[in-house]
Amino acid sequence: MLDLTVVIVNYRTAELAIEALRSLEPELAQRGSARVCVVDNASGDGSAERLDAAIRSHRWSSWVTLLALAENGGFGAGNNAALRPALERPAASPAAFLLLNPDTVVRPGAVGCLLDFLAEHPRAGIVGPRLEDPDGTPQRSSFRFPSLRGELEQGLRLGLLSRLLARHVVAPPVRDDAHATDWLSGACLLVRREVLERIGLFDERYFLYFEETDLCRRARDHAFECWQVPSARVVHLVGQSTARPGAPPRRSRAWLASRRHYFRTHHGRLVLLAADLIWSAAYASWRVRRVLQRKPDPDPPAYLADFVRYNLLGRRS
């Protein structure tokens, strides 16, 4: 049985984090050595106090600790604040880390299923469950790495081309079988300790988004496999940990910055420029075709303008 530490990074979602802990309680009761670290990422809204009160009132103190940070350095930095001291312990404690979003509810048996898979597959370094809506509808949470062909397909959205580029589509159809994949949603990741010892922690230059893509990419570069195990199921309340009430639903600057950093880090500046040009031209073509064909608009407002302004014109404000 692998020893386990769970890390939950909270930012102004205390009630969701408490429900995530409630779903974890029966899962971890069978594993006496399992521990949870809830990191409050400088929420500044009383989240730390509410979490502390819940831990005490539910008598979770024997297996849950709260780490309240003074500064919000982003999602990766929040995880690193818990992972770094844990990795300084002896190699057997813990042997694996479960990185869990606060906007999740763990279905019965999911943690054990993921741990069993990791124990039985020594080449697997990162394992994730099937993410689903509360009604059980599966979400796409197993992905391919971004590429130039993937940027073309995502931007153009032309049926024939999408079929020709099926092997490069970033978000392939949901599968019911356990399968190796490029990367998984960071809402729930089980990471073998050895992975972090060899590749390092999260790159804190990603404030939000793409940090799990980068982690899985670096793991693959060190010969670790990434697997999705759909028999393990976790509810993901999509967007509730990052939603900002009243804010316009535009593509965030954090996403744009992280995309730039990912392409520049793993492919270089020339490929980043090519990716920007390919996506912009393809997406502009889609926008014209959408109007002519009177198709609904599924995209964030001012998406193309924000993308061009931030990426191609180099405006960071």
The pTM of the whole model exceeds 0.75:
yes
pLDDT confidence of residue 3 = 87
pLDDT digits (tens, 9 = 90+) for 249-300: 789 999 999 999 999 999 999 999 999 999 999 999 999 999 999 999 999 9
In angstroms, the CA 217 to CA 211 distance is 10
Question: Does residue 202 lie within any of the structural domains?
Answer: yes
Q: Is the pLDDT of residue 315 over 70?
A: no
Which domain does 303 fall in, by range?
157-168+244-317
Q: Kindly state the helix (H) or strand (E) to which residue 196 belongs, with its residue range.
A: helix 193-199
pLDDT digits (tens, 9 = 90+) for 143-189: 999 999 999 999 999 989 999 999 999 999 999 999 999 999 999 99
| Residue bearing the bigger pLDDT, 153 or 312 | 153
Residue whose tokens read 């008598």: 59
Domain end position, chosen among 194, 216, 236: 236
Domain end position, chosen among 216, 236, 256: 236
Quick one: 186 and 304 in the same domain? Answer: no
Question: Does residue 110 lie within any of the structural domains?
Answer: yes
Question: Does residue 151 lie within any of the structural domains?
Answer: no
Mean pLDDT in residue range 203-224: 98
Quote the tokens at residue 144. 């391919």
CB neighbours of 242 closer than 8 A, spacing ≥ 6? 208
Number of structural domains, the chain? 2
Domain end position, chosen among 217, 236, 255: 236
Q: Kindly state the helix (H) or strand (E) to which residue 100 belongs, with its residue range.
A: strand 96-100
Nearest to 151 by CA among 259, 264, 268, 239: 259
Quick one: 28 and 127 in the same domain? Answer: yes
Q: What are phi and psi of 31, to 5 degrees?
A: -125, 90
pLDDT digits (tens, 9 = 90+) for 220-248: 999 999 999 999 999 999 866 555 544 45
Quick one: 220 and 307 in the same domain? Answer: no
Amino acid at 181: T
